A = this chain, B = another copy of it.
Amino acid sequence: MSTIIESLKWRYATKIFDINRKLTDNQVNTLKHSISLTASSLGLQPYKIIVVSDHKIKKSLFPHSYNQLQITTASHLFVFCAIEKIDDSYTQEFIKLMSKIQNKSMEDLHGYKSMINNFINNSDDGAKLLWASKQTYIAIGNLLTTCALEEIDACPMEGFDAEKYSEILSLKEKGLKVLALVATGFRSKDDKYGIMPKVRKVYSDLFVEM
């Protein structure tokens, strides 16, 4: 069996982390590097991630997360947010970055810029948020797999009070809308969920071959 399958079998949605074990700077950097390399529609990376390691902040988020122990026991909490304002000036910044990295003139990139602006200007705020949300979840999927490969435990979470999170992390001022969390760290011996067999559909219920 390949390494990736072994790793994915090893991972599980960790409910309690060992509070005495923290991610090293190297590990945090690998996770950030991985997130930054995630594929996104048109390459626009329409998200921002708050990486919370401060215990006081985690403690203040705890009661607004149904008191789930992942929040306070995690080493690092990745708070995935969509960028609310994706407009012409966002495209402009992206094209500037592309021009610099790929050593192309703004004229060379005119066609690509028009294509992006065409998409942006033909989508209303709701459609853009949905699009940005989907891209964000690709990054979450990538992060969870990266964690598994690096033997870092993780728990994806959607159960929290988005308004309270927004207040505590000043997300409105940053133009961000919180979507989901990934708590990371190392599984506690007290967490009974790690040894439970995974419940997964049989292939015939999950795939159709054509």
Contact = CB atoms under 8 A, between A and B. Distances in A.
A52 B145 contact: no
Interface string A27-50: 000101111111101010101111
Contact of A51 (B53, B97, B205, B210): B210
Give the one of A143, A207, A210 with max B CB within 10 A. Answer: A210
A152 to B, nearest CB: 11
A3 B141 contact: no
B206 A49 contact: yes
A100 to B, nearest CB: 9
Nearest to A147: B4
A138 B9 CA distance: 16
Interface of A: 2-5, 8-9, 11, 13, 30, 32-39, 41, 43, 45, 47-54, 57, 94, 97-98, 101-102, 130, 133-135, 137-146, 149-150, 156, 158, 169, 174, 179-180, 196-201, 203, 205-210
A185 to B, nearest CB: 16
27 contacts: A4-B30, A5-B30, A5-B33, A8-B33, A8-B34, A11-B39, A13-B39, A32-B206, A36-B200, A36-B203, A36-B206, A43-B199, A45-B201, A45-B206, A48-B208, A51-B207, A51-B208, A101-B200, A102-B197, A134-B134, A134-B179, A138-B156, A141-B143, A141-B144, A145-B145, A149-B149, A174-B208
B139 A210 contact: no
A3 to B, nearest CB: 7
A139 to B, nearest CB: 6
Contacts of A146: 4, 145
A75 to B, nearest CB: 13
A150 B2 contact: yes
A160 B206 CA distance: 22
A3 B8 CA distance: 16
A197 B32 CA distance: 19
